[in-house]
Structure 1
Amino acid sequence: MHTDVLRNQNELRNNLRSHYDFIVCGAGSSGCVIAARLAERENIRVLLLEAGGDDTAPSVMEPAQWPVNLGSERDWSFMGQPAPSLNGRRLPLSMGKGLGGGSSINVMVWSRGHKEDWDYFAAKSGDPEWGYKSVLEYYRRIEDWQGTPDPARRGKGGPAYVAQPSSPQPIAQTMVDAAGLLGIPVFDSPNGRMMECTGGAAIADLRIKDGKRQSVFRSYTYKAMHQPNLTVLTGALVSSLIFDGNKAVGVEVMLDGKIRQFRATCETILSLGAVNTPKVLMQSGIGPEDELNRHGIKVRQHLPGVGQNHQDHIAFGCTWEYRKPEDVGGGGCEATVYWKSNSRLQQPDILQCQLEFPVPSPAEAELETPEHGWTMFAGLAQPKSRGRLRLSGPTMYDNMLIEPNALSAPEDVTAALAAVELCREIGNHSAFTPLVRGETAPRSRNHAGLVEFVRNSAVTYWHQSCTAKMGLDRMSVVDARLRVYGIENLRIADASIMPRITTGNTMAPCVVIGERAADMILAAHDTQLAAGIKQQRPDPS
């Protein structure tokens, strides 16, 4: 980090205030956006809390090193409960821990979600401003798109640098070509017209510039960290919310081995992700009353949907052995396919993400991994299975019990088989002959064998979401303005609020959620801002 940023943040940390105007909990792909946008107003004091550390490790900044972060101190390293639908297996559920959250340890794929996803958000929230037409305006604000101009859909000059690899590796281009030869439409980008129709194949859009990762933290928050009105605290674990009646007035935090309290004059925003956001809610007395009572937690607001509706993208690795070692480009993912398992569907339900190295299958799959090869993840873009999160105890140190229930819905098994067969059809096309020796996983199997393969080889894309959903029904946790039902001055802005998971990687939709949250927060406090928010502060600090 630059000297002026370090000096300023050290000074702010050494002179922490008891009150801030806004407290943003979690420096992931939504929280970083909110904190930065609020701090654009010089008279607003913003506190951004992050449990993890900084983002300066080479494994963060160097795109190809992202697998090194999995299981490290930059990963929450959640683990799912044993799942009968996965033959008793437990899924490792990585999630970014540190400045930038998932955007600092992911594969850097920029995927906007399908038109139908956003229109579904609008329908479920009762607010057309969550629809695709409105979201396109946000993407035009967000992006600094380096590819073919598309003024109706793409932005130029925004904070988020988005580009395709200038020279995709041969295996990536061959995958797109093979998909085209099989009748799948080929597009010049996965984020333009392709996400308005039945799907297609394209070279991926990535968040890599000059060979370096462009995390959401670096694109948004870091640029404001020299300012005196933005305090960014790492190593700050949010344990619970503080209330005055049913009004959230701040947070309790474990910082430097001590419990500290910080008060929010205006609002507290939870952007802790789809596991820790419901955890803090429940341990603060907001959630299903039977779950809270089980752990002796006083019920402040009964919201049965907290921790329910858990969704994730599930994938199955199909692998081929190279004839000779091939280079890996960028972060290793340079091409993608979205397609439908059933022609009657309104949008793609299959997500294929190519990795330019061989990914080992889980041990239960009993498959050899070649020394040199490539893997296509046959994924479920719109899973029907729903999981849940439960408490293991009432304190910040009690881990959440995550029950993903992956492949518990029969429709998901059907779609999984279609996804694997599509991968095999593409990967075994003659276009790959110059590069590939042959298929190593799953290889030809009968129906029962393929079902066993998907249950034993299923992994996740690490896109956990939907556990504090936005909506109008009794299982909804927030309204269309992201306000928690029954609690004043508390919003949620992260993947938790999705009514259903978006089609593709979730980083870009989380940036949209952050942008929309910031707009709504500023609009709600315009009167205070106009009057001078400092007059509202209860102490001179």
Structure 2
Amino acid sequence: MTARDIPAFDVIICGGGAAGCVVAGRLAAHPELRVLVAEAGGWGDVPEVRDPTIWMRNIGSERDWAFASEPCPGLNGRRAALPMGRVLGGGSAVNGLVWARGHKADFDLWEEESGDAGWGYAAAIDLYRRIESWDGPASPLRGVDGPMAITLPKNPAPVVGALLEATSALGVPQVADHNAEAMAGDGCCAVANVNVAKDGTRVSTAVAYLTPRLDQPNLTILTGATVRRVVIEGKRAVGVEFEVDGEIRVARADREVVLSLGGVNTPKTLMLSGVGDERELKRHGIDVVQHLPGVGRNFQDHILVAGCVFEYRTPEPPRNNSAEFTFFCKSDASLPSPDLQPMLEETAFGSEITRPAYDLPVDPSLAFTLAPGLIRPKSRGHLELTGPRPEDPVRIHANFLSEEADVRALMIALELCREIGNSEALRPFVKRELMPGALPDAARLDFLRNAAGTYFHETCTAKMGRDALSVVDGALKVYGIEGLRVADGSIMPAIAGGNTLAPCVLIGERAADLIGADLKLR
């Protein structure tokens, strides 16, 4: 389809990302429904997307929106890189391929905030059974015939076994599958699940949900189409304005518009469409269609620290997705669920400050990193428009490590990762600790602020709920606007406790169910 030949559709999905592809694939299963996916990026048919071993080459490429935060006082004034997928499949096409469902506490919260049991833990288990084609240890909690192939890395790096032994010795139980019963527990360590097919290629949501339907005449996928705003008449969304092939075009939506543009572009598009805090909109001369002060608020991301680096005794090249081990634990035993998730990075992982300061090796076979991770941050940020035009960038005030509780938790995680890396179990593999080493409290805190970055899980900026800052209700409908929903990570009331791909796929599945019910699809 060309920019000059755009018919009307029943449903327009803005963004072919991790959740958007799911919504499109499920809705397109109904031949009577005309579905359009408008995606700013390309098809992503390149080795960097297909090959899980080189996923990191996507960061900073044309498949990355390459967002960055405003300077964060909590990071010693540094700007945090905030990559986000700009390609069909979104984050599922460019990320590190770790499949983590989230904890029971996440879905308990989503149910409480929305007032809808369809977001609860039991419902989440049912949705994941539908999503997954899991070939690992059998469990009644796992799905085996869904579209997303989920597996365990084949022949992990030898250091993984030692990391499992050392972590379990500290009281974090080793499990065969961190996405089964451990979802409701106090923590675990495991080889990480990955979304990889039997032939070793990545399974993005574009591959899983759209590829099987590419020959269907009721599904149109328009790549290179950058969404500018939702067309709203009165209080109803009736279409989408986007730029494609250098032209600004409008496609009409007879039934629904779905925003699946991610935690940055979804709230930006809402605001440019006149939906947001009226003071912010009026400041930029944007006509107010619906006052929703929560649009762009509640920004959250997982923190990943570049981290505890150890030199190998014998060089060991990275394998699989270069992140084959993870664990979940609590920084405080009184917490209701794990708040820490360190990850193995099979390279010397440093920040723009710590890498040169510690002269870390460039060759990934010479060292590995156990990177402290915080998955339940207390810090909150917000987004800010810089102008009324889609071309005007958005400012991301991330406010990372602005809450002292986050600093305390990560200081604990830092020492825990150092203890594991320097343990007896790791001695056959570790020649010495390269970074950070034993530091006095003030220096360790300074190191943390210089080393902290993110997991690239930007979420929660159009949150689901029933309070004054909620943007969508439990059916993902934007308050005050008919025919407009949000289906992506921005609807999370609080960020899920683990890598966010799997919860975003779940959000896409639930959105398709909700839309189908309203449209009375069979």
For 2:359 and 2:341, the matched residues in 1 are separated by 24
Shift of 1:168: 1.4
Shift of 1:14: 7.6
For 1:146 and 1:16, the matched residues in 2 are separated by 44
464-473 or 54-63, which deviates more: 54-63
| Number of the residue aligned with 2:47 | 58
For 1:60 and 1:95, the matched residues in 2 are separated by 14
Q: Which amino acid aligns with 2:331?
A: S
For 2:352 and 2:499, the matched residues in 1 are separated by 22
2:334 to 312, 336, 344: 344
Q: Which amino acid aligns with 1:368?
A: D
| Number of the residue aligned with 2:193 | 205
Q: Which amino acid aligns with 1:92?
A: A
| Number of the residue aligned with 1:173 | 161
2:275 to 266, 279, 286: 286
For 2:279 and 2:435, the matched residues in 1 are separated by 45
- 1:478-504 Cα deviation digits (max 9, x unpaired): 000000000000000000000000011
Shift of 1:355: 1.4
Does 2:315 correspond to 1:321? no
| Number of the residue aligned with 2:177 | 189
14-23 or 453-462, which deviates more: 14-23
Shift of 1:361: 2.6
Residues 292-311 of structure 1: matches in 2 within 5 Å? 292-311=281-300
- 1:161-204 Cα deviation digits (max 9, x unpaired): 00002321111221111111222111001101112110110011
Question: Is residue 124–residue 499 contact of structure 1 (8 Å, CA) maintained in 2?
Answer: yes
- 1:347-400 Cα deviation digits (max 9, x unpaired): 000011111122123225722213410011201010000000000111111111
Does 2:505 correspond to 1:515? no
Does 2:405 correspond to 1:417? no
Does 2:352 correspond to 1:362? yes
For 2:161 and 2:292, the matched residues in 1 are separated by 48
- 1:32-66 Cα deviation digits (max 9, x unpaired): 00000000001111000100111111111111111
For 1:333 and 1:323, the matched residues in 2 are separated by 19
Does 2:139 correspond to 1:150? yes
| Number of the residue aligned with 2:435 | 441
| Number of the residue aligned with 1:253 | 242
For 1:309 and 1:431, the matched residues in 2 are separated by 41
Q: Per the alignment, in what secondary structure is the counterpart of residue 350 of structure 1?
A: coil
Q: Per the alignment, in what secondary structure is the counterpart of residue 309 of structure 1?
A: coil
For 1:63 and 1:275, the matched residues in 2 are separated by 25
Question: Is residue 85–residue 407 contact of structure 1 (8 Å, CA) maintained in 2?
Answer: yes
| Number of the residue aligned with 1:533 | none
Q: Per the alignment, in what secondary structure is the counterpart of residue 408 of structure 1?
A: coil
Residues 213-292 of structure 1: matches in 2 within 5 Å? 213-292=202-281
For 2:397 and 2:61, the matched residues in 1 are separated by 23
1:390 to 357, 369, 384: 384
| Number of the residue aligned with 1:334 | 324
For 2:483 and 2:40, the matched residues in 1 are separated by 22
Q: Which amino acid aligns with 2:152?
A: Q
For 1:169 and 1:13, the matched residues in 2 are separated by 47
For 1:388 and 1:488, the matched residues in 2 are separated by 25
2:78 to 82, 86, 89: 89
Question: Is residue 45–residue 229 contact of structure 1 (8 Å, CA) maintained in 2?
Answer: yes
For 1:15 and 1:140, the matched residues in 2 are separated by 42
Q: Per the alignment, in what secondary structure is the counterpart of residue 347 of structure 2?
A: coil
For 2:285 and 2:3, the matched residues in 1 are separated by 36
Question: Is residue 361–residue 367 contact of structure 1 (8 Å, CA) maintained in 2?
Answer: no
Shift of 1:17: 3.4
2:93 to 78, 94, 104: 104
2:476 to 482, 489, 496: 482
| Number of the residue aligned with 1:162 | 150
Q: Which amino acid aligns with 2:358?
A: L
Shift of 1:323: 1.3
Structure 1 residues not aligned, in runs of 5+: 1-11, 531-541
Question: Is residue 95–residue 101 contact of structure 1 (8 Å, CA) maintained in 2?
Answer: yes
For 1:504 and 1:439, the matched residues in 2 are separated by 27
Does 2:447 correspond to 1:459? no
For 2:101 and 2:182, the matched residues in 1 are separated by 11
For 1:312 and 1:124, the matched residues in 2 are separated by 19
Q: Which amino acid aligns with 1:353?
A: M
- Give the paired residue count: 516
Identity of aligned residues (%): 48
Q: Which amino acid aligns with 1:513?
A: I
132-141 or 431-440, which deviates more: 431-440
For 1:15 and 1:71, the matched residues in 2 are separated by 32
TM-score (normalised: structure 1): 0.94
Q: Which amino acid aligns with 2:233?
A: D
Structure 2 residues not aligned, in runs of 5+: none
Question: Is residue 189–residue 203 contact of structure 1 (8 Å, CA) maintained in 2?
Answer: yes
Q: Per the alignment, in what secondary structure is the counterpart of residue 342 of structure 2?
A: strand
| Number of the residue aligned with 2:37 | 48
2:110 to 115, 121, 136: 121
- 1:4-43 Cα deviation digits (max 9, x unpaired): xxxxxxxx44883331000000011100000000000011
471-480 or 439-448, which deviates more: 439-448
Question: Is residue 18–residue 261 contact of structure 1 (8 Å, CA) maintained in 2?
Answer: no
TM-score (normalised: structure 2): 0.97
Q: Per the alignment, in what secondary structure is the counterpart of residue 248 of structure 1?
A: strand
2:519 to 497, 517, 525: 525
For 1:14 and 1:478, the matched residues in 2 are separated by 31
For 2:18 and 2:457, the matched residues in 1 are separated by 12
- 1:504-532 Cα deviation digits (max 9, x unpaired): 10000000000000000000011xx57xx
Question: Is residue 235–residue 289 contact of structure 2 (8 Å, CA) maintained in 1?
Answer: yes
Question: Is residue 3–residue 247 contact of structure 2 (8 Å, CA) maintained in 1?
Answer: no
Superposed CA RMSD:
1.1
Runs of 4+ aligned residues of structure 1 deviating over 6 Å after TM superposition are none
Q: Which amino acid aligns with 1:421?
A: E
Q: Which amino acid aligns with 2:322?
A: G
Q: Which amino acid aligns with 1:491?
A: R
